[in-house]
């Protein structure tokens, strides 16, 4: 009888532990905007800077409603040329895409472990030429 009671305690404890882990995991989910903001903050803090060039500015509209604003740029790291885009929709207060000229030089912050992961604008830093 005591071994049955011991198993029920173990099973109950495991169930409570599993419920706690699931609650913690679901609470930790972030929205795509939060994940992107975290990525920009990480690159701003730990990224290396290189020279780049703005090659295009796009505003993607869906059904006539303005949507994403993309800044497309290129840069070189260790002889490899990268062409990337950054969604700057939530950074409209930091950059005016309508005054951004194509071909202007820019600074790019990139992840040294993954050079294709880069930014031109973040909440605390802007690499676009301001002149």
pTM over 0.75: no
- Measured distance CA(25)–CA(9) in Å, rounded: 24
Q: Which distant-in-sequence residues (6+ apart) come within 8 Å of 10 by Cβ? A: none
Q: Which residue has the tokens 């992840």?
A: 111
Q: List the pLDDT tens digit at each of the 131 positions of the chain.
A: 566 677 777 777 777 888 877 777 666 667 888 888 899 999 999 999 999 999 988 887 766 666 788 899 999 999 999 999 998 888 878 777 777 778 889 999 999 999 999 999 999 999 888 66
- Measured distance CA(99)–CA(102) in Å, rounded: 10
- Measured distance CA(11)–CA(118) in Å, rounded: 48
List the chain domain ranges.
Answer: 1-30, 32-119
Q: Which distant-in-sequence residues (6+ apart) come within 8 Å of 97 by Cβ? A: 57, 59, 69, 71, 88
């Amino acid at each position: 009888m005591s071994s049955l009671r011991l198993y029920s305690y173990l099973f109950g404890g495991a169930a409570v532990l599993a419920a706690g882990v699931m609650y913690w995991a679901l609470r930790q989910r972030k929205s795509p905007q939060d994940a992107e903001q975290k990525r920009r903050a990480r690159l701003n803090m730990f990224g290396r800077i290189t020279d780049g060039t703005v090659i295009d500015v796009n505003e993607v509209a869906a059904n006539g409603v303005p949507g994403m604003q993309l800044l497309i740029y290129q840069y070189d790291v260790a002889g490899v040329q990268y062409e990337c885009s950054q969604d700057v929709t939530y950074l409209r207060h930091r950059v005016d895409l309508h005054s951004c000229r194509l071909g202007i030089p820019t600074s790019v912050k990139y992840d040294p472990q993954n050079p294709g992961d880069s930014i031109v604008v973040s909440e605390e830093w802007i690499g676009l030429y301001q002149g």
